[in-house]
Chain A
């Protein structure tokens, strides 16, 4: 067990309301991690074996395109998570993530977490219930961004 990580996770919005024994299960896959401003946390197409629970700082999620360079499509901050790619095969990052300022997170080992979810479907379902609203919200954000609401109509 990892009591420090368990305490950090239990205070995070993503894990709010989760029973202590379930938190302990998750915490056994967890490790605290820090990134300095400007540091890349992951790169597109790398193996997505981490799920990040942000405690402090901000992270920019970016995609690069030839001629336009990198564009940030979303930023996430303390109280949020990123890296839900850990749930869906082939478990690869679909963007680059870069710390915008000094950032603290709990990183969950996705291989460990996937095994635990396979072994305990209640845990898997609890995590799914928390991941789904985030995916739906991000899909909604993406739709609004695509509408380009502030562009003049002519």
Chain B
């Protein structure tokens, strides 16, 4: 009798295998947002559109360099697949150097995104810090396309300095359209900047919304999200109505390798968007 168990591939294994293999995509257009930030619109080489929900991410591969998790920052109708990337290391650097026509690999979309349905008929508060506006832009596109389904919508955005503000012309357009309230602040500025200087939590103090009927979505550096969530609770929004998008290193992106573990959650599978109610005790654990 043989003691070696032979593993037979189940349909789920095949599905997982498919999700591990990058598909070929091509850069359609390129835009430089800031000195170290670029936005790429990509299209699938096979022409099959990728359907995704706001807050989901793709794994983008630069061949010969590596793979990185990048949020989708376009409108969630599958028509345009847009990623905004900040050059922080080898893979992100190579991604920001791609030009129209260049090929790259794409796996995804992955993860659970923002709770858009739960926000229907509520006031929506979008709190973004730095590059955190990228995954929230998909939400804004969705809201603007279905504006009547939502109450008062407010974008509060903090950046390091005026030059680092993402999507500047779009923000100006949103402001003028009066469809949403927009408040911006930067951490530091020279005297040419006519706007606010301070931190994004200060904007929360001044925002107008009905705390009993508001859903808040927060994305940015973890420290910023911790203080923003605390400020939202202070303004009497329930922790279960506050959602944060968490970031940890991703490898498989399909819940197998454990690289993205955050407490009991695999962020690639159970997140990256989770409620503050779930995250609050975990955020207190140092080095988690």
* Chain A residues packing against B (C-beta within 8 Å): 58, 60, 62, 68-75, 77, 79, 98, 100, 141, 144-145, 147-154
Total interface residues on B, using CB and 8 Å? 33
**Proximity string of chain B (65-97) to chain A, C-beta cutoff 8 Å, 1 when within and 0 when not:** 000000000000000000000111100000000
Once bound together, how far apart are the Cα atoms of A148 and B129, in whole Å? 12
Closest residue to A151 on the B side, CB-wise? B160
When A70-B190, A75-B197 are in contact, do A149 and B86 touch as well, CB less than 8 Å? no
The answer to whether B198 and A75 have CB atoms under 8 Å apart is yes
When A75-B197, A150-B130 are in contact, do A144 and B160 touch as well, CB less than 8 Å? no
Is B187 interfacial (CB 8 A cutoff)? yes
What's the least CB distance linking B260 to chain A, in Å? Answer: 18
Q: List, in ascending order, chain B residues with CB within 8 A of A75's CB.
A: 185, 195-198
Closest residue to B131 on the A side, CB-wise? A150
Given contacts A75-B196, A141-B198, 13 further A-B contacts (CB under 8 A): A60-B197, A74-B197, A75-B195, A141-B199, A141-B202, A145-B199, A147-B223, A149-B187, A149-B223, A150-B158, A150-B160, A150-B187, A152-B36
Closest residue to B222 on the A side, CB-wise? A149
Is B139 interfacial (CB 8 A cutoff)? no
Give chain B's interface secondary structure class: mixed
Find residues 157-208 in chain B having any chain A CB closer than 8 Å to their own CB: 158-160, 164, 185, 187-191, 193-199, 201-202, 206
Q: List, in ascending order, chain B residues with CB within 8 A of A152's CB.
A: 36, 86-88
Is B224 interfacial (CB 8 A cutoff)? yes
When A70-B190, A74-B198 are in contact, do A153 and B88 touch as well, CB less than 8 Å? yes
Once bound together, how far apart are the Cα atoms of A107 and B130, in whole Å? 36
Q: List, in ascending order, chain B residues with CB within 8 A of A149's CB.
A: 129-130, 160, 187, 220-221, 223-224
When A58-B196, A73-B197 are in contact, do A154 and B89 touch as well, CB less than 8 Å? yes
Is B227 interfacial (CB 8 A cutoff)? yes
